[in-house]
Amino acid sequence: MGTRFLPATKAVPKELMPIGDTPAIQIIIDEALGAGVEHIVIVNSRNKPAIERYFERDDELVEMIRAKGDDRLADRLAGIGRDWRVTFAYQDKPRGLGHAVGCARQAVGNEPFAVMLPDELLGDCSLLDQMNVVSADTGGGVVGVTQVPRELVSSYGVLAPSGPVSDDGVIAVEDLVEKPPADEAPSNYILIGRYVLTPDVFDEIERLTPGRGGELQLTDALRAQVARGPFSAVVSRTDRYDTGNPVGFLDAAIAFALRNPEMSDGTRAVLANRVSG
């Protein structure tokens, strides 16, 4: 609902707020496409039709930009929602992440799929790439994790490892706990909003009862799968930006601008000027 970004989100969904020249949601879609995903399912609220408008064709706009001679931008605009398949599913009430994923059941169908939470932006698609490989090898679900200082774990799903971290960052999962108090957390490896899951999770979601915060938690549905095994975690080696709060969003915007060849020099200059001034 974007409450931490009010009043900005009163009229504009957070997912469309710009990271440089790109709406935040496009960054996570690019990550998915980079890892070979071909069908994007967006679980949306009926109150945010602007998100759907972003994916609609706009031939007039493309032609206008082409007439101005900017073919690169025109191609980029024309490709949105054309070069991959987008389906919308709706969650009518905010009943939790498990419920949101359950709303996508029909659109996803009976095959492995990734869940990607757009509040968490990653520097590239390397984590999802590796998670896909691990899931294909084991036939089981995979979560993306990173280590954080202990005092932060209570805001996240936390991993209980059943063994050591392999050289390529894979950990066998013993259990998962949603937002435990820091002193009860089984580790400081947190779930960072990237999951590669097998479709039997949808049956577990239907069996969910309210968990932490009174919500239907995806973490709780995964526990049932973990108990059956195999279930793995992969430690992310790329940058992570938590855009759930305005400063984190700004951090992501600056980092992506510094990596964009068209914006990096200008961004560097304004930052240097601000910090020294």
Output the CA angle 187-117-244, nearest 5 degrees: 80
Among 193, 196, 204, 222, binds ligand G1P (CB under 6 A): 193
36: which 2 tokens?
Answer: 């070979």
Among 117, 133, 182, 263, binds ligand G1P (CB under 6 A): 117
Nearer Cβ to ligand G1P, position 17 or 190?
190
Among 15, 178, 204, 220, binds ligand G1P (CB under 6 A): 178
Sign, CA torsion 164/222/96/180:
negative
241: which 2 tokens?
Answer: 């930006």
* 9 Cβ neighbours under 8 A, 6+ residues apart: 1, 2, 3, 17
Tell me if 190 contacts ligand G1P by CB under 6 A.
yes
Nearer Cβ to ligand G1P, position 113 or 156?
156
Which of 72-102 are b and which e, b meaning 16 or more Cβ less than 10 Å from the residue's Cβ?
eebeebbebbeeeebebbebeeebbbbbbbb
Contact 134, 232 (CB under 8 A): yes
Stretch that binds ligand G1P, among 7-15, 37-45, 213-221, 245-253 (CB under 6 A): 213-221
Tell me if 140 contacts ligand G1P by CB under 6 A.
no
Tell me if 97 contacts ligand G1P by CB under 6 A.
yes
Nearer Cβ to ligand G1P, position 26 or 236?
236
- Tell me the closest approach of the beta carbon of residue 91 to ligand G1P, in angstroms: 13
Nearer Cβ to ligand G1P, position 26 or 217?
217
Alpha-carbon Rg for the chain, nearest whole angstrom, is 20
Q: What 3-state DSSP class applies to 90?
A: strand
Nearer Cβ to ligand G1P, position 140 or 211?
211
Tell me if 197 contacts ligand G1P by CB under 6 A.
no
Site for ligand G1P in 234-263 (CB under 6 A): none
d(CA 277, CA 273): 6
Tell me if 15 contacts ligand G1P by CB under 6 A.
no
| Residue whose C-alpha is closest to residue 236's, from 124, 150, 112 | 124
- Tell me the closest approach of the beta carbon of residue 155 to ligand G1P, in angstroms: 7
Under the rule (CB under 6 A), what is the footprint of ligand G1P? Answer: 97, 117, 119-120, 156-157, 178, 190-193, 217-219
